[in-house]
Chains A and B, each alone.
Chain A
Amino acid sequence: QSALTQPPSVSGSPGQSVTISCTGTSSDVGSYNRVSWYQQPPGTAPKLIIYEVSNRPSGVPDRFSGSKSGNTASLTISGLQADDEADYYCCSHTSGSTYVFGTGTKVTVL
């Protein structure tokens, strides 16, 4: 149950785009479209922002988008805003009927 690999931090100026990668294996990210993304501002509970690789729940701005290629999923935040500053985690269901999260990425708006 090794964590999925994410970059520790990414940053961008307001209005720019940033992309966070999430690398797993053929037993998790690569196996299914069961990848979701969660936003966690400091001191708060996680919030679902992407499910099934690229779907957005209602109420999540279309500035957030997701994709996947092979064993790597990605989250892109376009038109970066100050309140996008948070930690972001990917999550994948696995072939062993468990779940594994990414190591987390801190997004900083410069």
Chain B
Amino acid sequence: QVQLVESGGGVVQPGRSLRLSCAASGFTFSSHAVHWFRQGPGKGLEWVATISNDGNRKYYRDSVKGRFTISRDNSKNTLYLQMNSLRGEDSAVYYCARENVVVIGTPTFYFDHWGQGTLVTVSS
């Protein structure tokens, strides 16, 4: 069955870095675009970043551009999020999610499987 398992969360001081990982299994990882989302404490869902199936296209929300980098290793079936210059407002549960695919390389714009999330707390 499809599984997405996030790891790498924790407590980090403002200005420091953290790298999140998302291990995928149960499907052909290299066929799917994948995304990072986050949800602050008591807040709503927020899209963070997207990477295409081949890693050639990347998109970010404005508030993380220049600080966060999304990447993937299709040989390891793993998605990453490198987070630098962390701020208090980055504190959240971070989820990875798979975008559904009908034709490889063509977006479908919806997310059919989600991981359980990993908590990032930015605090001094």
Known: A89-B44, A104-B44. A46 touches B62 (CB 8 A): no
A68 interfacial contact with B, CB 8 Å: no
Interface residues of A in 43-91 (CB under 8 A from B): 44-48, 51-52, 57, 89, 91
18 further contact pairs, Cβ within 8 A, besides A45-B116, A47-B114: A1-B62, A32-B109, A38-B45, A38-B111, A40-B45, A46-B45, A48-B110, A52-B109, A52-B110, A89-B45, A91-B45, A93-B109, A98-B59, A99-B47, A99-B109, A100-B47, A101-B46, A104-B45
Residues of A within 8 Å of B, CB-based: how many? Answer: 26
Known: A45-B116, A46-B95. A36 touches B44 (CB 8 A): no
Q: B109 touches which one: A36, A38, A45, A104 (CB < 8 A)?
A: A36
Quick one: CB contact mask for B94-124 with A, threshold 8 Å, 1 for yes?
0101001000000111111011110000000
In the complex, which range does the number of interface residues on chain B fall in?
20 to 34
B67 interfacial contact with A, CB 8 Å: no
Q: With a CB–CB cut-off of 8 A, which chain A residues contact B47?
A: 91, 98-101
Quick one: CB contact mask for B5-39 with A, threshold 8 Å, 1 for yes?
00000000000000000000000000000010100
Cα distance A90–B97 in the bound complex, in angstroms: 16
Asked whether A101 lies within 8 Å of B44 as measured between CB atoms, the reply is yes
A102 interfacial contact with B, CB 8 Å: yes
B61 interfacial contact with A, CB 8 Å: yes
Residue in chain B with minimal CB distance to A36: B110
Q: With a CB–CB cut-off of 8 A, which chain A residues contact B110?
A: 34, 36, 48, 51-52, 91
